[in-house]
């Protein structure tokens, strides 16, 4: 039994809710006693056990398989997407720094890098002559039927620089 358990049992009695006297009587820290009794603090052993039981190794393997599947289809997940996937699989809330530590734990399979608004391949292919050649070849659209084609345009300014996640096999 931990030394703090005895004063906590004593505080369960209805007539003894004085933290100062109880801490002095059992020779323990008053702040720790108060926090543990009010449920604001847990034992370190319980907290570690709770953290370890959040995700099983199989759930992490499933998550890596999902990321690999997305990467092979050319869809590179973002770190917020990874957080959402984890919460869907494990049915628990994870912290804001959890995706970074997950990538670090699995750095032999996963990698994370910054993608700019347009990466080099998209920038190279984004020109009028290539678009015209593609649509002429694919659909044979006459110029008289191309009105209002460019009214919407692309939302290039909306897409920001983001950190993307992918498997190392796709990167190579």
Where along the chain do its domains lie? 5-50, 56-146+154-172
DSSP H or E segment with residue 163: strand 162-167
Q: State the chain's mean pLDDT as an integer.
A: 75
- CA angle, 69 then 75 then 76, to 5°: 90
Do residues 30 and 20 lie in contact, with contact meaning Cβ atoms separated by under 8 Å?
Answer: yes
Backbone angles phi, psi at 143, to 5 degrees: -60, -30
Do residues 87 and 64 lie in contact, with contact meaning Cβ atoms separated by under 8 Å?
Answer: no
Q: What are the E-state strand segments in the chain?
A: 77-78, 110-115, 162-167
- Looking at residue 170, its pLDDT comes to 59
DSSP 143: G
Mean pLDDT of 85-112: 86
**What percentage of the chain exceeds 70 in pLDDT?**
71
**Max mean pLDDT range (21-30, 44-53, 116-125):** 21-30
Spatial neighbors of 96 by CB under 8 A, at least 6 apart, are: 83
The tens digit of pLDDT for each residue in 108-158 reads: 999 888 876 555 566 666 677 777 787 778 887 776 766 655 555 554 555
Question: Is pLDDT above 60 for 51?
Answer: no
């Amino acid at each position: 039994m931990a030394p703090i358990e005895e004063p906590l049992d004593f505080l369960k009695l209805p007539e003894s809710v004085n933290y100062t006297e109880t801490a002095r009587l059992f020779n323990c820290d008053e702040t720790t006693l108060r926090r543990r009794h009010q449920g604001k603090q847990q034992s370190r052993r319980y907290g570690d056990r709770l953290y370890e039981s959040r995700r099983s190794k199989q759930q992490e393997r499933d998550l890596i398989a999902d990321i690999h599947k997305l990467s092979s289809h050319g869809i590179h997940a973002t770190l917020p997407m990874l957080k959402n996937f984890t919460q869907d699989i494990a049915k628990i809330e994870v912290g804001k720094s959890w995706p970074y530590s997950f990538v670090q734990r699995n750095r032999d399979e996963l990698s994370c890098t910054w993608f700019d608004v347009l990466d080099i391949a998209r920038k190279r292919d984004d020109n009028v002559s290539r678009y015209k050649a593609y649509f002429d070849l694919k659909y044979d659209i006459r110029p008289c039927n191309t009105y209002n084609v460019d009214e919407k345009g692309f939302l290039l300014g909306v897409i920001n620089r983001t950190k993307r996640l992918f498997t190392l096999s796709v990167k190579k």
